[in-house]
């Protein structure tokens, strides 16, 4: 490791494009690889995320990055002085790139060669913890659901999704995009869209646009039992979203009386219930 301050040490790294060339990093579709090689964009993502959190840096905080790839976001996070950044990556070629960065920044960077779906970040370090990721698109929703279930462990999630997935997450009631993930995400978090990125921002360019969302936990996180019941309820309701809820929820004992007690019309369809109404119903089933 060099003895330079982090920002200067990062300046001694080759550009992202040269890094990709030197490591022969051809993107693999199976790993959901679309790389961000423009340092201005990765810096903008992290700057926007921090400013929306009223933070000037990550000083004192632990950050986790899923799928660092060639390291654009990795560099941007490191330049904002985290207590430690831990990256989790499945591709050995990207691990080699992370080792190069580690040779410059030492213990500020911790590298895990593995599957992010198997990783429990809350076990690794103390709070405050942040997750940052340009997510592999094929596992973006399962990863988000894992983190939402444990949202009290995190100060923020800054995540890039395919634009249509981001729209589902933020969808309002009475829209075609409103569904299970909207209910779960909106009950647990305040969600802000930071940026839309066009396909040309990535190498290789995907067919569709991407969006970066910032999630910050609401004060009252849901309990594990509430989340379990919500998942059950929303699976039933949205599994038959064209049907009235008196039909789609009929396997729940006394459902008509329970809906009446909450003043929810039994003739509603899944997309007409607010996230708060789903929660109220989950609390009495």
CB of 185 to ligand SAM, least distance (A): 20
Per CB under 6 A, 67 contacts ligand SAM: yes
Among residues 7, 56, 96, 117, the one that binds ligand SAM under rule CB under 6 A = 117
Could you give the string, one character per residue 122-141, with x where binding to ligand SAM holds by CB under 6 A and - elsewhere?
------------x-x--x--
Among residues 21, 99, 115, 164, the one that binds ligand SAM under rule CB under 6 A = 115
Cβ-closest residue to ligand SAM? 67
| DSSP per residue, the chain | ---S-HHHHHHTSPPHHHHHHHTT----GGGT--EE--HHHHHHHHHHHHHHTT-S--TT-EEEEE--TTSHHHHHHHTT--SEEEEEES-HHHHHHHHHHHHHHGGGEEEEES-GGG--GGGTSPSPEEEEEE--GGGHHHHHHHHHHTGGG-SEEEEEEEHHHHHHHHPPTTSTT-SHHHHHHHHHEEEEEEEEE-GGGEES--SS-EEEEEEEE-SSPPPHHHHHHHHHHHHHHHHTTTSBHHHHTTTSTTHHHHHHHTT--TT-BGGGS-HHHHHHHHTT-
Cβ closest to ligand SAM, residue 94 vs residue 109: 94
| Interaction residues for ligand SAM, span 254-273 (CB under 6 A) | none
| Interaction residues for ligand SAM, span 2-61 (CB under 6 A) | 31-36
Among residues 94, 97, 151, 171, the one that binds ligand SAM under rule CB under 6 A = 94
CB of 131 to ligand SAM, least distance (A): 12
CB of 278 to ligand SAM, least distance (A): 30
Size of the site for ligand SAM (CB under 6 A): 24
| Interaction residues for ligand SAM, span 154-183 (CB under 6 A) | none
Per CB under 6 A, 222 contacts ligand SAM: no
Footprint of ligand SAM (CB under 6 A): 31-36, 66-70, 72-73, 88-91, 94, 115-117, 134, 136, 139
């Amino acid at each position: 490791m060099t003895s330079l301050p982090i920002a200067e040490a990062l300046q001694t790294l080759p550009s992202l494009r040269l890094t990709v060339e030197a490591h022969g990093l051809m993107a693999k579709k199976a790993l959901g690889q679309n790389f961000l090689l423009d340092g201005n964009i990765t810096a903008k993502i992290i700057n926007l995320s921090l400013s929306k959190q009223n933070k000037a840096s990550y000083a004192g905080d632990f950050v986790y990055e899923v799928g660092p790839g060639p390291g654009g976001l990795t560099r941007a996070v490191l330049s904002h002085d985290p207590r430690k950044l831990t990256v989790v990556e499945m591709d050995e070629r990207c691990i080699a790139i992370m080792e190069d960065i580690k040779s410059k920044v030492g213990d500020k960077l911790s590298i895990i060669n593995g599957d992010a779906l198997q990783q429990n970040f809350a076990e690794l370090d103390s709070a405050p913890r942040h997750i940052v990721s340009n997510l592999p698109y094929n596992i973006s929703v399962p990863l988000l659901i894992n983190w939402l279930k444990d949202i009290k462990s995190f100060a923020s999630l800054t995540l890039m999704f395919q634009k249509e997935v981001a729209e589902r997450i933020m969808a309002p009631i009475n829209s075609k995009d409103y569904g299970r993930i909207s209910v779960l995400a909106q009950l647990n978090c305040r969600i802000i869209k930071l940026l839309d990125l066009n396909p040309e921002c990535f190498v290789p360019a995907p067919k569709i646009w991407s969006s970066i969302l910032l999630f910050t936990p609401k004060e009252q996180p849901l309990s594990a039992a509430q989340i379990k019941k919500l998942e059950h309820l929303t699976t039933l309701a949205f599994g038959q979203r064209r049907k009235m809820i008196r039909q789609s929820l009929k396997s729940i004992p006394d459902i008509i009386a329970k809906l009446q007690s909450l003043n929810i019309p039994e003739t509603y369809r899944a997309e007409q219930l607010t996230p708060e109404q789903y929660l109220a119903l989950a609390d009495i089933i």
